[in-house]
Amino acid sequence: MLATLTGCSTDAALRKAATGKGIAAARVTLPPLPGDCREMEPHAPVKVGDEARSVLKAERRQLDKANARVGRCANHYDATAKALK
Per residue in 16-45, pLDDT tens?
Answer: 888 877 777 667 777 888 888 999 999 999
Q: Is 72 left (phi over 0), alpha (psi -120 to 50) or beta?
A: alpha
Radius of gyration of the chain, Cα coordinates, nearest whole angstrom: 27
Cut 0.85: pTM above it: no
At residue 71, does pLDDT exceed 90? yes
